[in-house]
């Protein structure tokens, strides 16, 4: 049994708590939140779990081996650092930290102490994204991938602490980090706030990869409809991932273009579109968070590799930081220093 303490029981915390509590090898020891009313809910639903308003108090509990942090992004670094320094493994809600510098310090601290630093990049554990990675690794979309285009828009909630980029685009960046072998070379971002003095609620983020692979992410808190649709185009096949579909979330199209040269110049090149079958692979119905808790347990108990480690979290934060910088200059491309961003997936 792994003793776990959770810090933060606001919007996302209850989901992690529910899945931690349901896992047979986890003992949910304590939950901490600054708001006593939130702790009332914990006691109502999990009477056996200790509650506290003090993270220091929670870290003092010797029954806790791992700490899960689901607070606002701005407090991630401090809480994670304290947890690591007290010798605990840590799982941090996305984004890992509010800046690359903070995230980098966490990665260093975890490495120095030989502790696990894990990031709750939830989509990395979803059956659809797992299947997308398998398809890409197997070359099923072709030898080259041309683009990744994601639309992630809905109406609210309107946040004050982070903008739509750090709130929503972070999901796509974590997926990109997981399914592509390289981090982006350069990013460019355009975004605006439509509420005086509030964070940007609408943003368009472009990531440049080698070989003209372009990733584009559209996030918006002020959309009349909820959309979660990603297109990925390869030179042989293409796919659509629509996360709002109750079933057949992933559709693979045997479509593309065929080029025929007839010896002449540019116009002599015939480019025909080619259309074949569509195929929707069966996906597991398992909740992503349940799988994430499984792998969290496996990492702590058996040393298994957790797919969203601190370095993945750091890479994603660095892209967010670069995107924010580009956004302030109305979309000027910002180059990512490859030396600072260790490659993730071997």
- The reply to whether 339 sits near a second copy by the rule CB under 8 A is no
- The reply to whether 290 sits near a second copy by the rule CB under 8 A is no
Our CB check for a second copy shows the closer of 277 and 337 to be: 277
In the sheet with 117-120, reading across from the earlier edge strand, the strands are 50-52, 26-32, 2-7, 66-69, 89-93, 117-120
Our CB check for a second copy shows the closer of 72 and 105 to be: 72
Question: Binder to a second copy among 25, 53, 198, 345 (CB under 8 A)?
Answer: 198
- The reply to whether 236 sits near a second copy by the rule CB under 8 A is no
End-to-end CA distance of the chain: 31
Give the contact letters, 74-113, x = binds to a second copy (CB under 8 A), - = no.
----------------------------------------
What one-character DSSP code corresponds to residue 344?
A: -
Question: Binder to a second copy among 37, 277, 302, 303 (CB under 8 A)?
Answer: 277
Q: How far is the CB of 317 from a second copy (least distance, A)?
A: 23
| Contact in structure between 146 and 213 (CB atoms under 8 Å) | yes
- The reply to whether 264 sits near a second copy by the rule CB under 8 A is no
Q: Which residues have CB under 8 Å from 304's CB, separation 6+?
A: 295, 298
Give the contact letters, 317-336, x = binds to a second copy (CB under 8 A), - = no.
-------------xxxx---
Kind and range of the H or E run holding 335: strand 334-335
Q: At what angle do helices 288-302 and 13-22 cross, to 10 degrees?
A: 60
Q: How far is the CB of 313 from a second copy (least distance, A)?
A: 26
d(CA 340, CA 322): 13
Our CB check for a second copy shows the closer of 182 and 255 to be: 255
Residue 191 neighbours by CB distance under 10 Å = 24
d(CA 312, CA 60): 29
Our CB check for a second copy shows the closer of 173 and 207 to be: 207
| Contact in structure between 215 and 147 (CB atoms under 8 Å) | yes
| Contact in structure between 312 and 177 (CB atoms under 8 Å) | yes
Closest among 81, 83, 75 to 5, alpha carbons compared: 83
Q: How far is the CB of 316 from a second copy (least distance, A)?
A: 21
Q: How far is the CB of 220 from a second copy (least distance, A)?
A: 7
CA atoms within 13 A on the CB side of 167: 22
Q: Is the peptide bond before 244 cis (omega within 30 degrees of 0)?
A: no
- The reply to whether 276 sits near a second copy by the rule CB under 8 A is yes
Window of 9-17, 97-105, 245-253, 313-321 that interacts with a second copy by CB under 8 A: 245-253
SS3 49: coil
Our CB check for a second copy shows the closer of 5 and 233 to be: 233
Q: How far is the CB of 145 from a second copy (least distance, A)?
A: 10
Query: Which residues between 137 and 166 bind a second copy (CB under 8 A)?
Result: 144, 146-147, 149, 151, 153, 155-158, 160
Query: Which residues between 169 and 188 bind a second copy (CB under 8 A)?
Result: 188
Our CB check for a second copy shows the closer of 80 and 336 to be: 336
d(CA 187, CA 177): 14
- The reply to whether 42 sits near a second copy by the rule CB under 8 A is no
- The reply to whether 281 sits near a second copy by the rule CB under 8 A is yes
């Amino acid at each position: 049994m792994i003793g776990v303490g959770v810090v933060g029981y606001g919007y996302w915390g209850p989901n992690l708590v529910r899945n931690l509590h349901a896992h047979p090898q986890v003992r949910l020891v304590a939950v901490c939140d600054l708001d006593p009313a939130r702790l009332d809910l914990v006691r109502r639903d999990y009477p056996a779990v200790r509650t506290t308003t003090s993270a220091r108090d929670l870290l003092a509990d010797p029954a806790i081996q791992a700490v899960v942090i689901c607070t606002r992004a701005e407090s991630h670094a401090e809480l994670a650092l304290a947890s690591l320094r007290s010798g605990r493994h840590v799982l941090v809600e996305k984004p890992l930290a509010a800046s690359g510098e903070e995230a980098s310090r966490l990665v260093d601290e975890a490495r120095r102490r030989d502790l696990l630093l894990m990031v709750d990049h939830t989509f990395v554990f979803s059956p659809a994204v797992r299947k997308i990675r398998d398809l890409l690794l197997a070359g099923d979309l072709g030898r080259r991938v041309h683009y990744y285009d994601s639309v992630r828009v809905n109406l609210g909630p309107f946040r004050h602490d982070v903008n739509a980029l750090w709130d929503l685009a972070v999901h796509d960046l974590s997926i990109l980090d997981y399914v592509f072998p390289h981090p982006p070379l350069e990013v460019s971002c355009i975004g605006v706030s439509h509420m005086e003095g509030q964070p940007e609620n609408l943003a368009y983020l472009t990531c440049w990869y080698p070989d003209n692979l372009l990733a584009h992410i559209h996030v918006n808190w002020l959309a009349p409809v909820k959309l979660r649709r990603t297109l990925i185009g390869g030179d042989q096949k293409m796919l659509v991932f629509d996360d709002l579909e109750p079933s057949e979330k992933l559709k693979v199209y045997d479509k593309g273009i065929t080029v025929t040269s007839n010896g002449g110049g540019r116009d002599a090149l015939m480019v025909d579109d080619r259309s074949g079958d569509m195929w929707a692979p069966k996906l597991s119905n398992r909740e992503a968070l349940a799988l994430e808790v499984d792998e969290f347990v496996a990492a702590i108990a058996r040393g298994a590799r957790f797919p969203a480690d601190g370095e993945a979290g750091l890479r994603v934060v660095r892209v967010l930081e670069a995107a924010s910088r580009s956004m302030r200059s109305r979309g000027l491309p910002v180059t990512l220093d490859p030396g600072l961003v260790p490659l993730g997936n071997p």
